[in-house]
Amino acid sequence: MALSFRSPGHHFTVQGIRLTILFLPCVLVACATATQPHMSKPLPAATTQQAPQTAPESDATYHFMMGHQAELAQDLDTALKEYQAALKADPQSYEVKSRLAALHFALGDTTKAVQYAEEVGQGSGQDPQLLTQMAGILASAGKPERALDVLDQAIARDPERGESYFPKGLILLNQKRVVEAEQAVKKGLQYTPDSPVGYYYLGRISIEAGNLEQALSSFDRAITVNPSFEPAYLAQASVHESRQEKDKAIAVLKKYLVQVNPRNREVRQHLVQLYIATKDYAGGLAELETMLEENPGDLDAQLRMALIHGEQKEFSKAIDQLTEI
């Protein structure tokens, strides 16, 4: 039985080793990392007696910050209005256009999202991170070649920024350009050797190339770099299952529950399936008991527990469990 796992920007299915990954790196990244927004025109330098800001600059900054606050509060409609007001005050701001692109994409308006992403990509002097984000939107909107062009711009602006190479590798992988994809990701890892994303993508490329041992090694490296990096655990378990190594898949998922998210119900459910497949009924019951401790009303867990008792020929326990349901 296949199990679909989801994480931000990634989707794959256990036993369906061919993975489909939605490329959208940081499309909805929060502005909190920026101490203040940069408009297209610099703010006046401080002097002994500071000159007042011009109204357009002041308006743009005000509306940008209001949009930022609304975005943090998940009020996307208000954020959109504020960013539009900021753009009206400062029509050349790449930062404002990038936020509008991300928000329109989040709201399902791909046409406007692409429009703003293109405007950011067509300018000059943009921040490489903005270009990388816009490439994500363009790729997700079905414009991979344009996305590659924008990523090449980002790389040209800062050739030693590894984060620009990783999405390029992913787009190339989706185009079945496996050798180029591997070259791009390895180049990024030269500059950012502590990136779990880079090793994860390298593992994905190895799967496409049919080298599952190398894929497992890359996923292992991603976990070593960041023990909380969810996609690497799930991909590693997927590879083991595809090779009928259920015991190893169980070990990986148990480690995931300890290191990443002990409350991931979907993973626990799949662990139960694996335990049953390996006839480790005690392991399956232990997982179900944990699920019922967290949610005593979990009917699915109660039913699975009854089924396991049935598999063990403990029919009285199975009947008692079904009666509780």
Give domain limits for the chain. Answer: 159-230, 265-325
The predicted-structure confidence for 45-89, as pLDDT tens digits, reads as follows 333 334 344 455 688 999 999 999 999 999 999 999 999 999 999
- The count of other CB atoms within 10 Å of the CB of residue 232 is 27
For 175-210, what is each residue's pLDDT tens digit? Answer: 999 999 999 999 999 999 999 999 999 999 999 999
Confidence of residue 129 (pLDDT cuts 50, 70, 90): very high
Q: What is the tens place of the pLDDT at every residue in 270-280?
A: 999 999 999 99
Q: Is the pLDDT of residue 27 over 90?
A: no
251-265 average pLDDT score: 96
Longest dimension (CA), the chain: 87
Its pTM stands at: 0.75
Q: pLDDT tens digit string along 209-227?
A: 999 999 999 999 999 999 9
Q: What is the mean pLDDT of residues 98-123?
A: 95
Per residue in 156-190, is it b (16+ CB within 10 Å) or e — as a string? ebeeebbbbbbbbbbbbbbeeebebbbbbbebbbe
Domains 159-230 and 265-325 share a fold: yes
Q: Tell me the CATH architecture of domain 159-230.
A: Alpha Horseshoe (1.25)
- 86 Cβ contact list (under 8 Å, min separation 6): 59, 60, 61, 62, 63, 64, 67, 93, 96
Domain 265-325 grouped into CATH 1.10.8? no
Using CA atoms, how far apart are residues 39 and 58, in angstroms rounded to an integer? 10
